[in-house]
Chains A and B, each alone.
Chain A
Amino acid sequence: MTALLTVEGITKYFNRRRVLDDVRFSVRRGEVLGLIGPNGSGKTTLFECLAGLMPANAGTLKADDKVLTSSQRKATLFYLPDGITPWAEQSVAWALSFFRKLYRRSAADASALVEPLRLEELMKARLGTLSKGERKRVLVALGLLTPHPLLMLDEPFDGLDLRQTRDAMSLLKAHATSGRTLMLSIHQLIDAGRVCDRLVLLSGGQVAGEGSLDELRTRAKLTEAGVEEIFLALT
């Protein structure tokens, strides 16, 4: 698979505290890339820097060896933050319709998301009245309605129960199979191992490893290990 984007040397300070330190990795077309790391490892900060929501102190985002301008970046990737409650007074149906019309997606595109994300019973509810898991499912649907080549989802399974997590994983996998590139930030390492084609391990703001599960096993010299053991060995 060819690289869709290359992240080079992203560094971010909050006052004098370095929260991202020379972060480098690549995102390949059509893959599901997992960004994994413990709380406070810099996953959300990295996403916000990549999406242009927060200025990085150093580093670039490249496509085909060319640094992306802010408008190219905006056309290439869409980031769905975790823990937001947008437009709390509006209904789920309106939010889906807003994104659908904004991005000129067909009604069928939106309908295709309703069943796997179990949104039927939520359509009339206000976004502000949804539980954490319900809101997460709606936000994932909004993200999947965007047409950007790369969709970055921050903790997409947070708040979902086991069945919902499995359904959401299948849906994301199906979108990746149809050519969309996904980058997921996940702190549940077992979930990451199930859904991601490749992983970027982030620890203390630094990339501790990048590759498929097998590549990371080889690097960690743990032939039968799961994601948790690999992460502990490499960080």
Chain B
Amino acid sequence: MRSHSFPELLGKEWRELLASRSYWLLLLMIGPLVGHAFITALNLYAEASGLGGGPAALPQGLTPLDGILAPTFGAYDLAATLFLPFVAIRLVSAEKQSGALKLLFQLPGSLATKVTAKGLVLMGGWLVSCLPGLLAVVLWKSYGGHLHGPETLNLVFGHFLRSMLSIGIAVGAAALTESAASAAIVTLAITVGSWALDFVAAGRGGLLQQLANYTPTAALRFFEQGLLRMNTTIVMLVVIVSMFALAAVWLNTGRPLRRQLLATLAVAAVLGMVMFGASGMRASWDLSENRRNSFPPADENALRQIQAPLHVTVILSPEDPRLTDFEQNVLKKLRRNLAHLNVDYTAGSQTGLFEGSDDHYGEIWYEMRGQKIMERSTIEPVVLEEIYKLAGVNAPAAAADNDFPGYPLAAGPKWAALIFYGLWPLATIFAWWFIRREGN
């Protein structure tokens, strides 16, 4: 394409975004949403820190990531699910329905370039909507709150990927369907489907659980825990790019249906291969300040020396809190450190309430080189000890206690309500009025 046309296309898409009422509604709503999440989180954090004379929780349990950042930015998950798709759909469907697409198709540049321009502008629009989140972070710092850069940036990166995923799915749906309403239904169906997959796959293991790791909610959970996983990041990026590629394929009305279907199959094949390849990637980085996703360094070194495959059979049902503990405290960390780990979930029921004693319910079996050990505990040191025994590795000396100090802060949300519930909506309405007036 002629390079000079791309800035013009970007400018057009930006104007179209600013002309969209759905985008202004998103901006109007995001301030109070973020504000409510921030103020609620701050009040709870202050209570846990001993505000009001009550006993403070253990300081080590008070992390800004869990207590402030994850709940505050959780508003963006809600926005990415409920608002952002409609903004993205509008940017594509309006041109389809008005006939503008017929002109756009003929303008300089490929359709891929034009879809890229839409994607970049939607990304820019999302970044603008991040201002309330940034304001919350600034307020938190102004109250004397602590921030750990890597975990904060990781969380924002997770929300960026999650939002771009929403945008990609919505743009793909808008390109595939005839009307904005149909695109909204398709997008909603994908969202609900991903929730169902999340629910059904929990604690089941196998391919289903691997797939469920890439649903927007599950993928975001890793970032909220301070974990940056190579496979999650790659799969999310490839899904986003695939959705935009599908949009470029289906917006090209000049192509015969057969060619569009073939191109779709090719995109699906690439996506499938990437997901399959990513399932074998174990690289991940624990960016949380309290190293919640890691064993003590000495244990990690010992575990990385174990090359024999470890087979774990868990007889705990998906809704059993012990399974949640085991996943969070042990399996998640083992997956990061063991070269060959295979986990089977064999409980027959959903809750485990009515499992008979002869079903071995509650047992966790560890098998390595033909040797098997059974252990019911889901506590990290106990499990590690069993694994060292099986592997014939000397257990490292017990590490000193985690030196994470925790960051209690008994501060009230000063100015926050005024900013998020008053100034932000007013500023949004003024900006909308000003831009609309200037556009005339």
Contact = CB atoms under 8 A, between A and B. Distances in A.
A and B together in one complex: yes
Interface of A: 48, 51-55, 70, 74, 78-81, 83-91, 94, 98, 101-104, 124, 126, 142
A88 B98 contact: yes
A85 B5 CA distance: 22
Nearest to B103: A86
B58 interface: no
B439 A84 contact: no
Given A81-B99, A88-B98, A98-B12, A51 B106 contact: yes
A86 B19 contact: no
A79 B103 CA distance: 8
The B interface is mostly helix, strand or loop, or mixed, namely helix
8 contacts: A52-B105, A81-B102, A85-B99, A87-B16, A87-B100, A89-B19, A90-B15, A90-B19
A101 B6 CA distance: 11
Nearest to A70: B254
A104 B99 contact: no
Interface of B: 4-5, 8-9, 11-12, 15-16, 19-20, 94-95, 98-100, 102-103, 105-108, 253-256, 439-440
A220 B383 CA distance: 97
B108 A102 contact: yes
Contacts of A52: 105, 254
B378 to A, nearest CB: 58
A3 to B, nearest CB: 22
Nearest to A85: B98
Nearest 7 pairs between A and B by C-beta? A84-B99, A86-B100, A89-B19, A52-B254, A55-B256, A85-B98, A102-B8
Contact of A84 (B8, B9, B102): B102
B254 A54 contact: yes
A92 B73 CA distance: 40
A91 B95 CA distance: 16
Which of A87, A88, A124 counts the most chain B CB atoms within 10 A?
A: A87
Nearest to A90: B15
Given A70-B254, A84-B100, A86-B98, A79 B106 contact: yes
A53 B16 contact: no
A98 B108 CA distance: 12
Contact of B439 (A55, A81, A90): A90
Nearest to B19: A89
Contacts of A104: 4
A132 to B, nearest CB: 13
Contact of A54 (B15, B253, B439): B253
B107 A102 contact: yes
Contact of B105 (A53, A89, A91): A53
A101 B15 contact: no
A52 B16 CA distance: 25
Nearest to B255: A55
Contacts of A53: 102, 105-106, 253-254
A27 B108 CA distance: 23
A126 B19 CA distance: 11
Best-surrounded residue of A81, A94, A102 (most CB of chain B within 10 A): A102
Contact of B8 (A88, A98, A124): A98
B106 A74 contact: yes
B249 to A, nearest CB: 13
Contacts of A74: 106
B125 to A, nearest CB: 15
Of A86, A91, A104, most buried by chain B (CB within 10 Å of CB) is A86
B258 to A, nearest CB: 9
Contacts of A142: 103
A75 B286 CA distance: 52
Given A53-B253, A74-B106, A89-B439, A83 B99 contact: yes
